[in-house]
Structure 1
């Protein structure tokens, strides 16, 4: 009885172990390849799309035989960096290029037969992509790589890598050139040359500006001289008209009272001839200094 119980327990344990190894789950973001003694026999949740362009989802719980092996492969889009690629452009200038590749496994069976693992696939992908980048960028000059045909170049590289990896179960979704710069040892010389060229251009612009400034200043000085001459001419004309008007007023005043006019002029002449602080020595009989100016004015007037 005891032996029978032990046999039953062992049988239950074996059945439980077989049951545990007979089921497996496949997540939505993975696809599974079933191997029987190393040979592929089935694929679960393989990447595929329906007629509407939507991905077919077969994730879930599945049954397998205990001796079957399950290999899980990523179903998502994966990325691989291609860094520090030395490229010689068609104009014989070297560039240091960084690229980024997006890819996915579309046929797990072919992928396993040709590449076995994602690590091996990444290594192959890097090698083929580097070769395609060098071939594509080596046919165009640097300006076209930096800003000209960059989009077309990336499309050509993607098609080349897809053609090279045809039959491996991999699809290249996109190839992007993230950066294309001159190597550090070359960049400094190029930047110095560019800086010298810009300085020459700036000096030329400054020289033209100074020449234009001199022309503007000369024109302004000439216009200022003309304006000053015209102003002096107008001032002399106005001054002459004022003197004429003043003489007319004096003449009218003289004709009305000649004696008063001579007296007033004599006083003005006397006042203007003697300044403050002037020392005058006269005889006692000549104390009336202004009398001399009055007598002279009377004599000049004929009285």
Structure 2
């Protein structure tokens, strides 16, 4: 009975060993290459092409023990940090650049034939990316790298790296410069020149604004002078028309009753000349009805 138990245990262990060599699991984030004596014969859960997803073959698979081997390759997007790249810009100043590359394996068969391991792939990727960064950034001056057309430069670097790895089964998704530092003494000079350039630009804009303000004020003054002259002219015309209308009205009234008009004018003259309590020395003569008012005024102003 004890011997039978040992037999079952031995068979179970052998079964587990055989199963572990026959069955293997490919996860959703993985792809696998089945090899026969080192020669690739089957690809499992491969990525798609031309923007189309590949077949979903994740799960449990079988292989022939010993005769067949399986290489598991990552299917996800991967990242690689590249630090301390020495770059000589077109203005002969040095930069220390830190970059980040995001990449993926789009042809696992070519990738395996070229690199075999992820470390070898990253080493090649680092060399090509470093060379592309030095080549692209070496064509532009430091101000363009620090604060200029960063996106266009990154696009050129990405294209250059993709071209260098096109036959290796690797697709470069993005390349980014995380940091571009100048030596302290160089950085201070660059930033001072940039600040001076910005101040000059601000002064130019301010001067243009002041000149524009002067032109606007001069135009406003001219318009004001014209409006005032037109207003004075219009006022003179209206006043003249009013005076003419008044003269016409007086003339019409006088012609209707000359005696009444003369009487009214005499009353106005008397009212202007007579002041109560004062003696009138000189007064109009032969005003007819007004003579009695002057007589009263003279008697009222005589000393008592």
Q: TM-score over 0.5 for the alignment?
A: yes
Report if aligned partners of 1:269, 1:293 keep a CA contact under 8 Å in 2.
Answer: no
Query: What's the counterpart of residue 295 of structure 2?
Result: none
Query: 1:227 — aligned with what?
Result: 231
Q: Deviations over 1:88-132 (max 9, x none)?
A: 55466778685543321623585377352x355335423421321
Aligned partner of 1:78 in structure 2 is 78
Q: Give aligned pairs, total.
A: 276
TM-fit CA distance, 1:138: 2.5
Structure 2, unaligned stretches of length 5 or more? 291-304
* Equivalent-residue separation in structure 2 for 1:162 and 1:252 (angstroms): 117
Change (3 A) 1:155 1:84: same
Q: How does 1:87-126 map to 2 (within 5 A)?
A: 88-90=88-90, 100-104=101-105, 106-107=107-108, 111=112, 114=115, 116=117, 118-126=118-126
Q: Return the alpha-carbon distance in structure 2 between the equivalents of residues 67 and 10 of structure 1.
A: 27
Q: How does 1:23-34 map to 2 (within 5 A)?
A: 23-32=23-32
Give the 3 Å change call, closer, same or farther, for CA 268–85 of structure 1 in structure 2. Answer: farther
Instruction: Name 1:199's counterpart in structure 2.
Output: 203
Counterparts in 2 of 1:157 and 1:233: CA distance versus 1, 3 Å = same
Measured against aligned partners, the alpha-carbon deviations of 1:18-53 in whole angstroms (never above 9, x if no partner) come to 2342222222431235689xx846565173669997
| 2:288 equivalent in structure 1 | 298
Q: Distance in 2 between matches of 1:233 and 1:50?
A: 89
Equivalent residue number for residue 136 of structure 2: 136
**1:171–1:234: structure 2 CA closer, same or farther, 3 Å change rule?**
same
Q: Contact between 1:266 and 1:293, CA under 8 Å: does it hold in 2?
A: no
Instruction: Give the distance between the partners of 1:247 and 1:181, measured in 2 at CA.
Output: 98
Counterpart of 2:293? Answer: none
Q: Cα distance 1:280–1:97, how it changes in 2: closer, same or farther (>3 A)?
A: farther
Q: In 2 relative to 1, CA 187–55 (structure 1 residues): closer, same or farther, beyond 3 Å?
A: farther
Q: Do the aligned partners of 1:24 and 1:64 also contact (CA within 8 Å) in 2? A: no
Counterpart Cα distance in 1 of 2:110 and 2:249 = 121
Shift of 1:217: 0.8
* 1:47 match: 46
TM normalised by structure 1 equals: 0.66
Counterparts of 1:1-303 in structure 2 under 5 Å? 2=2, 4-5=3-4, 7-22=6-21, 23-32=23-32, 40=38, 44-45=43-44, 47=46, 55-56=54-55, 58-59=57-58, 60-65=60-65, 71-80=71-80, 88-90=88-90, 100-104=101-105, 106-107=107-108, 111=112, 114=115, 116=117, 118-139=118-139, 142=144, 146=149, 153-154=156-157, 156-162=159-165, 166=167, 169-177=168-176, 186=190, 189-254=193-258, 257=259, 260-274=260-274, 280-282=277-279, 296-298=286-288
Gaps of 5+ in 1: 283-288
Deviations 1:53-84 (A, max 9, x none): 76355543213537987542212343445578
Q: Deviations over 1:176-208 (max 9, x none)?
A: 457898967545742552243033223213222
Alpha-carbon spacing, 1:281–1:32, altered in 2? closer, same or farther (3 Å): closer
Asked if structure 2 preserves the Cα contact closer than 8 Å seen for 1:263 and 1:294, the reply is no
Other-structure match for 1:285: none
- CA distance in 2 between counterparts of 1:182 and 1:272 reads 99
C-alpha RMSD of the superposition: 4.6
In structure 1, distance between residues paired with 2:265 and 2:71: 133
What is the deviation of 1:173?
4.0
Task: Classify 1:232/1:119 alpha carbon distance in 2 versus 1 (closer, same or farther; 3 Å).
Answer: same
Shift of 1:156: 3.5
Aligned to 2:302: none
- The 3-state SS of whatever aligns with 1:21 is helix
